[in-house]
Amino acid sequence: MKTIDRNDFPLLASYTVNEKPLVYLDNAATTQKPLQVLKAEEDYYKTSNANPLRGFYNLGIAATESYEMARHTVASFLHAKDNEIIFTRNTTESINLVMYSYALQVLKPGDEILISILEHHSNLIPWQLAAKYTGATLRYLYTDSEGILSEEEINQKLTDKTKLVAITHVSNVLGVMTPVEAIIERAHEKGAVVLLDLAQSIAHTPIDVKKWNVDFAVFSGHKIYGPMGIGVLYGKYELLNTMPPFLTGGEMISSVHEDSVEFAEVPQRFEAGTQNAAGAIGLASALSYVSEIGYEQIIQTEVDLMQYLMDGIKQIPEVTIYGPADAKLHHGVLSFQVKDVHPHDVATILNEDGIAIRAGHHCAQPLMEFLRLHATNRVSISFYNTKEEIDFFLNSIKQVRRWLGYGSQTSIYTNH
Amino acid sequence: MDLRQVYTQIIKEHNGNGYHKHHLKAPTDSKEGVNPSCGDQITLELKIKDNVIMEAAFTGYGCAISQASADMMIDIIEGKDIHEARKLISLFMRMIRNELTEEDDIELLEDATALKDIAHMPARVKCAVLGWHTLEEMLP
């Protein structure tokens, strides 16, 4: 087992704002990259670069082997088979692939697509369109005000009419986890197929597509310490094998004639054009990095940091936090508001101290409407964050209202 | 750039509840302006008579910079004819985009000159121009 080492992440040590060290608390947007991942990408280009799946020469074979080894690493990480892993650009592309190549093929008027109110726009807009294109109805699972989904709600909304359930594993706004195993079991009883959006969960909790018996699962490499521009679609082979291609073109065919084409086997059928091989190899390196540290150590560290953050933030009377009270249920994500100060102003003011946090609707506008909020601030942590950084953040937050001329009951002046 | 000065000026003159943040009794025109990247929204109301902006007001929700900027804008465009208002919008946009020339007199923008440093804060440019952009689209 590898111990957590912040020095693996060069950007965290070098970047400064106003000569202050960066405090990076926007890990739900994207994570920083360890040297191991940067080196893996560089090594591919230095030692194995050719166009995978095409070359009849040694270097081409080496490139193919590296690319397929990356696929194997991803498959093992998710507990899937190699031919159930398709490389895409990101979560959004993976969801759109399932929308076009599966949903549009099977949905009929009167069928229902079921999503939850927690969804990121990337797992929402494709289903609005799928409903529009096919005449199916889009329905929502609603949560309580903390984001918790009840069994009654699932049983009531997931019916014989439901043909597809697309649901997030962890909310990018509230950090809460959905009861995926119960949803998948119920969906299969009703004959529905389930797509799981792992974008926000995969860096914080172990994934087992086989044990869960899920049909599709998607994520982006950059949210789990991998490169940008590489994503994954997991699909059960039996399903993928029935689906037509999404994008068409090079290296996704078995034969082409002037007026006809035979498509390649899965997964090549869904990987048209030259692929991001270096990205796939970087992603595999990131997953190996996470495996070496182990989820046990990651969860322990991140829950400890979240508990420390929540204990501290609760001491500031002008701050309201959203989601569950239990730090263990937050999966690295905490949304909050500072009384009378718009979240964008909070984020701008914190930037003066070198602190990076998110402000806005977090690409989840229907959830914000449901919670009757316009915008929130969001802190999202990684195992590489420290308690010193949380202290620094809490001190900075205590000053925010003064910047806008409001009094504060907490008059702790630091180095402003 | 001193962020503290920007906020201080905003607070002094146009804090959260600006002078012009209300509805007009009988507006001749109203339009919603939205910043899609952050969800900020204002509705601008105008009373235009004989090509002169007699009255203006706004409602909505947004950050201190977007709200204060709209409030400052209304301060200077009330009583101006449409031609003058257009010139002021163009001047403000040049100031925010850091494209001012030697002939420009930013004092014409009165309090809104406090937002000059936004030109160095790319993340906040859209906030500062929300009201001005909405007005530009409304003018006949």
pLDDT tens, chain B, 140 aa long: 578 778 877 776 776 567 899 999 999 999 999 987 777 889 999 999 999 999 999 999 888 889 999 999 999 999 999 999 999 999 999 999 989 998 999 889 988 888 888 888 888 899 999 999 999 999 98
Quick check: is A414 in a domain? no
What ipTM describes this predicted complex?
A: 0.84
3-state helix, strand, coil in chain A (%, to 5): 45, 15, 40
**How far apart (Å, rounded) are the C-alpha atoms in residues A288 and B11?**
51
Quick check: is A415 in a domain? no
Domain total in chain A: 2
Tell me the three state secondary structure of residue A263: strand
Which pTM was predicted? 0.92
Final residue of a domain: which of A291, A309, A325? A291
For residues A264 and A398, membership in a common domain is answered with: no
For residues A46 and A134, membership in a common domain is answered with: yes
**How far apart (Å, rounded) are the C-alpha atoms in residues A353 and A260?**
61
**What CATH architecture applies to the domain B3-138?**
Alpha-Beta Complex (3.90)
Final residue of a domain: which of A260, A291, A322? A291
Tell me the three state secondary structure of residue A358: strand
User: pLDDT tens, A308-323?
Assistant: 999 999 999 999 999 9
pLDDT of residue B117: 86
Question: A345 to chain B: nearest residue by CA?
Answer: B63
- The answer to whether residues A221 and A228 touch, using CB atoms and an 8 Å cutoff, is yes
For residues A236 and A330, membership in a common domain is answered with: no
**How far apart (Å, rounded) are the C-alpha atoms in residues A101 and A95?**
10
The DSSP element (H or E) to which A347 belongs, if any, is helix A343-351
Q: Does A357 touch chain B (CB under 8 A)?
A: no
For residues A314 and A287, membership in a common domain is answered with: no
User: pLDDT tens, A223-244?
Assistant: 999 999 999 999 999 999 999 9
A36, A132, A208, A212, A332 from A77: Cα distances, Å: 17, 36, 8, 14, 21
For residues A266 and A316, membership in a common domain is answered with: no
For residues A26 and A41, membership in a common domain is answered with: no
What's A184's domain CATH number?
3.40.640.10
| Binary contact (A375, B39; C-beta < 8 A) | yes
Final residue of a domain: which of A248, A273, A291? A291
Going by the DSSP 8-state scheme, the letter that residue B31 receives in this structure is: E
Tell me the three state secondary structure of residue B53: strand
Quick check: is A413 in a domain? no
For residues A56 and A191, membership in a common domain is answered with: yes
pLDDT of residue B38: 72
**Interface subset of B 73-92, CB within 8 angstroms of A:** none
For chains A and B, count residue pairs whose Cβ atoms are closer than 8 Å. 49
**How far apart (Å, rounded) are the C-alpha atoms in residues A69 and A82?**
9
For residues A257 and A332, membership in a common domain is answered with: no
For residues A99 and A218, membership in a common domain is answered with: yes
Positions in chain A short of pLDDT 50: 409-416
- Where does A162-276 have alpha helices with state H? 180-189, 209-212, 237-240
What's A377's domain CATH number?
3.90.1150.10
- Residues constituting chain A: 416
pLDDT of residue B119: 84
Give residue limits of the domains in chain B.
Answer: 3-138
For residues A11 and A101, membership in a common domain is answered with: no
Q: Does B37 touch chain A (CB under 8 A)?
A: yes
| Binary contact (A368, B39; C-beta < 8 A) | yes
Dihedral sign (CA A71, A73, A77, A83) = positive
Residue A276 CA, distance from chain mean position: 19
For residues A126 and A241, membership in a common domain is answered with: yes
pLDDT of residue B16: 58
Quick check: is A330 in a domain? yes
- Where does A25-179 have alpha helices with state H? 35-43, 58-78, 91-98, 104-106, 125-134, 151-157
pLDDT of residue A54: 77
Residue A332 a catalytic site member = no
Beta bridge partners of A355: A23
For residues A277 and A301, membership in a common domain is answered with: no
**Structural domain boundaries enclosing A188:** 37-291
| Binary contact (B7, A344; C-beta < 8 A) | no
- The answer to whether residues A203 and A382 touch, using CB atoms and an 8 Å cutoff, is yes
pLDDT of residue B15: 64
**How far apart (Å, rounded) are the C-alpha atoms in residues B59 and B74?**
12
Going by the DSSP 8-state scheme, the letter that residue A101 receives in this structure is: I
| Binary contact (B3, A348; C-beta < 8 A) | yes
Beta bridge partners of A321: A336
The burial class, CB within 10 Å (0-12 / 13-18 / 19+), for B78 is middle
Q: Does A373 touch chain B (CB under 8 A)?
A: no
Instruction: Kindly report the backbone phi and psi dihedral angles of residue A162, in degrees, each rounded to the nearest multiple of 5, phi listed first.
Output: -70, 125
In this structure, the number of other CB atoms found within 10 A of the CB of residue B41 comes to 18
Q: Does B17 touch chain A (CB under 8 A)?
A: no
DSSP character string of A293-337: H-HHHHHHHHHHHHHHHHHHHTT-TTEEE-S-S-GGGSTTEEEEE
Beta bridge partners of A232: A87, A219
- The answer to whether residues A153 and A312 touch, using CB atoms and an 8 Å cutoff, is no
Q: Does B1 touch chain A (CB under 8 A)?
A: no
| Binary contact (A365, B39; C-beta < 8 A) | yes
